[in-house]
A and B are shown apart, each in its own frame.
Chain A
Amino acid sequence: MRIRPNWRHLPLLLAAAFSLFPMIFLFLNAFKKKSEIIKNPLGWPLRWTTDNFATAWEKGHYNVAYLNTVAVTGITVILMCVVCGLAAYGLTFMKTPGGGVFLAYLFVTMSMPIGFIPIFFMTVKLGLIDNYWGVIIPYVGGGFAFNVFLLRAFMIGIPKDLLESATVDGCNQARAFFAIILPLAKPAFTVVALFTTLSSWNEIFLSNAILQSDGMKTVSVAYLNFTSKYGTNWGLMAAGGVLTVIPMIMLFLSMTKKFVSGLQEGGVKF
Chain B
Amino acid sequence: MAEVKKRSRLKNARGWLFVLPGLLFHIFAVAIPAVLSLYLPFTEWNGLSMPTFNGLDNFKQLFHDSIVGAAFLNNIKWALFWVTVPTLFAFFLAYLLNKIKRGQTVYQSIYFSTSIITVTVAGQIWLWLYNPFSGMNFYLDKAGVGFIDIPGLTIPSLSIFFVLIADMWKGFGGNVVWLLAAMTQNDKSLEEAAKIDGAGRFRIIWNIILPQLRPTLVIVTMLTVLNSFGAFEMVYVMTGGGPAHATETLSTYYYKLSTTGRQAGYGSMVALLQTFIAVVLIAVYGYLRKKKGWDV
Interface residues of A (CB under 8 A from B): 6, 8-9, 11-12, 15-16, 18-20, 22-23, 25-26, 29, 37-38, 41-42, 79, 82-84, 86-87, 89-91, 94-97, 99, 102, 106, 109, 111-122, 124, 137-142, 144-145, 148, 173, 177, 198, 201-202, 204-205, 209, 219-221, 223-224, 227, 234, 237, 241, 244-245, 248-249, 251-252, 256-257, 259-260, 263-264, 267-268, 270
Q: State in angstroms the CA–CA spacing of A29 and B9 once bound together.
A: 65
**Which one, A118, A259, A267, contacts B40 given CB within 8 A?**
A118
Residue of A nearest to B27 (CB): A141
- Find out whether the CB atom of B19 lies under 8 angstroms from the CB atom of A86: yes
What chain B residues lie within 8 Å of A144 (beta carbons)? 22, 25-26, 29-30
- Find out whether the CB atom of B169 lies under 8 angstroms from the CB atom of A22: yes
- Find out whether the CB atom of A11 lies under 8 angstroms from the CB atom of B93: yes
Known pairs A16-B107, A90-B15, A270-B219; A117 contacts B29 (CB<8 A): no
Residue of B nearest to A89 (CB): B18
What chain B residues lie within 8 Å of A111 (beta carbons)? 226, 278, 282
Known pairs A96-B19, A248-B118, A249-B116; A256 contacts B33 (CB<8 A): no
13 contacts between A and B (CB under 8 A): A84-B22, A86-B19, A113-B226, A115-B36, A117-B267, A122-B36, A141-B27, A173-B18, A220-B121, A263-B178, A267-B181, A267-B216, A268-B182
What chain A residues lie within 8 Å of B16 (beta carbons)? 90, 96
B199: interface (CB < 8 Å): no
Residue of A nearest to B95 (CB): A8
Q: Which of B215-234 contact A (CB under 8 A)?
A: 216, 219, 226, 229-230, 232-233
Known pairs A38-B134, A124-B47; A11 contacts B268 (CB<8 A): no
Q: A122-B36, A173-B14 are in contact. List 5 more A-B contacts (CB 8 A).
A: A97-B13, A124-B48, A140-B25, A244-B120, A264-B177
**Which one, B29, B36, B128, B181, contacts A142 given CB within 8 A?**
B29
What chain B residues lie within 8 Å of A198 (beta carbons)? 116
What chain B residues lie within 8 Å of A38 (beta carbons)? 134
Residue-wise, chain B 41-54 has the 8 Å CB interface mask toward A (1 for contact) of: 00000011001000
Q: State in angstroms the CA–CA spacing of A109 and B216 once bound together.
A: 21
Residue-wise, chain B 226-252 has the 8 Å CB interface mask toward A (1 for contact) of: 100110110011000000000000000
Interface residues of B (CB under 8 A from A): 9, 12-19, 21-23, 25-34, 36-37, 40, 47-48, 51, 89, 92-93, 96-97, 99-100, 103, 105, 107-114, 116-122, 124-126, 128-129, 131, 134-136, 138-139, 169, 173-174, 177-178, 180-182, 185, 216, 219, 226, 229-230, 232-233, 236-237, 254-255, 258-259, 264, 267-268, 271, 274-275, 278-279, 282
What chain A residues lie within 8 Å of B174 (beta carbons)? 263, 267
What chain B residues lie within 8 Å of A256 (beta carbons)? 105, 109
Q: State in angstroms the CA–CA spacing of A138 and B28 once bound together.
A: 7
**Which one, A112, A119, A124, contacts B275 given CB within 8 A?**
A112
Within the complex, the shortest CB–CB distance from A164 to chain B, in Å, comes to 14
Q: State in angstroms the CA–CA spacing of A132 and B121 once bound together.
A: 23
Within the complex, the shortest CB–CB distance from B98 to chain A, in Å, comes to 10
Within the complex, the shortest CB–CB distance from B218 to chain A, in Å, comes to 12
What chain A residues lie within 8 Å of B135 (beta carbons)? 41-42
What chain B residues lie within 8 Å of A148 (beta carbons)? 22
**Which one, A22, A87, A121, A137, contacts B19 given CB within 8 A?**
A87
Residue of A nearest to B260 (CB): A209
- Find out whether the CB atom of A87 lies under 8 angstroms from the CB atom of B23: yes
- Find out whether the CB atom of B18 lies under 8 angstroms from the CB atom of A241: no
- Find out whether the CB atom of A23 lies under 8 angstroms from the CB atom of B113: yes
